[in-house]
Amino acid sequence: MNSKKDWDQLLQFDRNHIWHPYTSMLDPLPVYPVVEARGVRLKLADGRELVDGMASWWAVIHGYNHPVLNEALESQLKKMAHVMFGGLTHQPAVELASLLIEITPKPLQKVFFSDSGSVSVEVALKMALQYWQAKGKTRKAKFLSLAKGYHGDTFGAMSVCDPITGMHKLFTHFLPKNFFVSAPECSFDASWDEKYITEFKTLLQKHHQEIAAVILEPIVQGAGGMRFYAPQYLLRVRELCTQYQVLLIADEIATGFGRTGKLFACEHSQICPDIMCLGKALTGGYMTLAATLCTDEVAETISGVEPGVFMHGPTFMANPLACSVARASVRLLLNSAWQDKIKSIEKQLKKELAPCQDLPAVNEVRVLGGIGVVEVKENVDVAWMQKEFVRLGVWIRPFLNLIYIMPPYIISTDELRSLTQAIFSVVRKVDAKSS
Ligand SMILES: *Cc1c(COP(=O)(O)O)cnc(C)c1O
Neighbours of 383 (CB within 10 A): 12
Ligand 1 mutation pick, 58, 150, 276, max ligand atoms within 8 A of CB: 150
User: Which residues are paired to 395 by β-bridges?
Assistant: 52
Amino acid 91 reads Q
Looking at residue 399, what DSSP letter applies? Answer: B
Q: How far is CA 340 from CA 37, 105, 268, in A?
A: 25, 22, 16
- CB distance 150 to ligand 1 below 6 Å: yes
User: Which residues are paired to 375 by β-bridges?
Assistant: 364, 402
Query: Largest alpha-carbon pair distance within the chain?
Result: 66
The full set of domains in the chain, from first to last, is 32-65+337-434 (3.90.1150.10), 70-334 (3.40.640.10)
- CB distance 251 to ligand 1 below 6 Å: yes
Per-block average pLDDT, block size 10, for the chain (435 residues)?
Answer: 85 97 94 97 97 98 98 98 98 98 98 98 98 97 98 96 85 93 97 97 98 98 96 98 98 98 98 98 98 98 94 97 98 98 98 97 98 97 96 97 98 98 96 66
Q: What is the pTM of this model?
A: 0.97
Q: Which atom of ligand 1 is nearest to the CA of 154?
A: 9
Catalytic site positions: 22, 150, 251, 280
Q: Find the 153 Cα to ligand 1 centroid distance in Å.
A: 8
Instruction: Print burial letters for 124-157: b (CB count within 10 Å at least 16), e (below 16).
Output: bbbbbbbbbbbeeeeebebbbbbbbbbbbbeebb
- CB distance 259 to ligand 1 below 6 Å: no
pLDDT at 435: 52
- CB distance 148 to ligand 1 below 6 Å: no
Helix (H) or strand (E) run with residue 418 in it? helix 413-434
The CA distance from 388 to 401, in Å, is 16
pLDDT at 1: 58
- CB distance 117 to ligand 1 below 6 Å: yes
pLDDT at 434: 65
Q: Find the 305 Cα to ligand 1 centroid distance in Å.
A: 31
pLDDT at 172: 87
Looking at residue 1, what DSSP letter applies? Answer: -
Name the packing angle between helices 198-207 and 231-243 (round to 10°). 20
Ligand 1 mutation pick, 116, 118, 145, 404, max ligand atoms within 8 A of CB: 118
Q: Find the 78 Cα to ligand 1 centroid distance in Å.
A: 30
Amino acid 57 reads W
The backbone region for 89, taken as left when phi is positive above 0, alpha when psi lies in -120 to 50, beta otherwise, is: beta
300 SS3 class: helix
Q: Which of 2, 33, 53, 119 is CA-nearest to residue 408? A: 53
